[in-house]
Amino acid sequence: MNVFWFFPTHGDSRYLGTSLGARQVDLAYLGQIAQAIDRLGFDGALIPTGRSCEDPWVAASTLIPLTRKLKFLVAVRPGIMSPTVAARMASTFDRLSGGRLLVNVVTGGDPVELQGEGQWGTHDERYEVTDEFLQIWRRTLAGETVDFEGKHLHVKGASVLYPPVQQPHPPLYFGGSSNAAHALAADHIDVQLSWGEPPEQVAEKIADVRRRAAEKGRSVRFGIRLHVIVRETTEEAWRAADELIKYVDDDTIARAQATYARMDSEGQRRMAALHGGKRDKLEVSPNLWAGVGLVRGGAGTALVGDGPTVARRMQEYADLGIDTFVFSGYPHLEEAYRVAELLFPHLPGRAPAEAANSVLTGPFGEIVANQHMPKTLQS
């Protein structure tokens, strides 16, 4: 299993829907998260995109020298970015990071926000743009000089002179639940991401993308985007979930859901359908909690439980074909440590957090009475 974390460039807090317990997300704080997850053994990190976020390419670039192994999943925005410029940006980042770039293709699902960026196409037209964008992007990074005249995009002599480290291009990640999205994934994408729906719903999407890709002679890997609330006991984890939304009131939920309802994203529609804007039935599948989605767009569910329980739920998704888990938790610095300490020991082939990148043999923990070694306990 590949386990990624998340950079909260749109804000971070102990509680959702309120400024209470919030913290300033500046370079120092992002640097703390980056160094922590790099050291703890996370495989990569997603940097979100949108008008509520700091620019992902600028933010990710500042974190390259603070990390050694961490991979960065950074968004390209077809229809907003030029495919040739986006290809040069990707190549430069990949070269300067030593081959640590992963590319998240974001078509967008909020027409109001997209109009602010100058993009006026319908849902399906945006996917047509994305298809043309990726044809140009992939070919230029593969070293071709590209002439392309499509329905939406037109380039002549497009090229990238400095090749990326990863050949033919950094891996492409993409999330989408509509028919148009699945068709695009089959044509272009290396890893198809799903938001955290119940396993049976995720299985249906995986089967559809696999079938479409096989028809094109391609194979696609799969990942899932979830929050996670892990504690020493499952009872503690459920209390932490309730604590996270303790200040969310009905008016805040109503305003958030009205905003999401205007979107034409099939994935967002499916997320909202899990809870219906109500708090009374938020456990939508065993240990899968939809409380985050009451006030947060996009990924709105969390796995909740102790380490062994969350690991078992992850294995259920892995058995469907999921090999990459993109996690987050509030606040992101502390929760990264909890995940590494309480969950990693229960995942196959993953070293415990304290030994992941260490050349030291111990002791781990405070020396008791300045003399006695601390006891070793199993998590």
Over residues 134-165, the pLDDT tens digits come to: 999 999 999 999 999 999 999 999 999 999 99
Categorize the per-residue pLDDT at 358 as very low, low, confident or very high, splitting at 50, 70 and 90: low
Given this model, what pLDDT does residue 304 score?
98
Categorize the per-residue pLDDT at 352 as very low, low, confident or very high, splitting at 50, 70 and 90: low
Q: Which residue has the higher pLDDT, 235 or 111?
A: 235
Categorize the per-residue pLDDT at 240 as very low, low, confident or very high, splitting at 50, 70 and 90: very high
pLDDT digits (tens, 9 = 90+) for 212-238: 999 999 999 999 999 999 999 999 999
Average of pLDDT values for 43-51? 95
Query: Which pTM value belongs to this model?
Result: 0.92
Which of helix, strand or coil describes residue 149? strand
Residues 368, 363: Cα–Cα separation, whole Å: 11
Residues 131, 183: Cα–Cα separation, whole Å: 10
Q: Which helix (H) or strand (E) holds 224?
A: strand 221-225
Judge whether residue 371 has pLDDT over 80. no
Other beta carbons within 10 angstroms of residue 341's beta carbon come to 17
Judge whether residue 357 has pLDDT over 70. no
Given this model, what pLDDT does residue 354 score?
52
> Average pLDDT, whole number, for the chain?
93
Other beta carbons within 10 angstroms of residue 278's beta carbon come to 12
Residues 16, 33: Cα–Cα separation, whole Å: 19
Given this model, what pLDDT does residue 363 score?
55
Q: Which residue has the higher pLDDT, 272 or 376?
A: 272
Report the share of the chain in percent with pLDDT over 70.
94
Q: Return left, alpha or beta for 189; rule: phi > 0 is left, psi -120 to 50 is alpha, else beta.
A: beta
Categorize the per-residue pLDDT at 372 as very low, low, confident or very high, splitting at 50, 70 and 90: low
Residues 268, 225: Cα–Cα separation, whole Å: 13
Residues 329, 327: Cα–Cα separation, whole Å: 7
Given this model, what pLDDT does residue 366 score?
75
> Residue 217 burial by CB count (10 A; 0-12/13-18/19+): exposed, middle or buried?
exposed
Determine the CATH number of domain 2-353.
3.20.20.30
Sorted by where each begins, the domain ranges of the chain are 2-353
Strand order through the sheet with 283-285: 227-231, 302-306, 288-289, 283-285
Residue linked to tokens 């559809």? 208
pLDDT digits (tens, 9 = 90+) for 308-339: 999 999 999 999 999 999 999 999 999 999 99
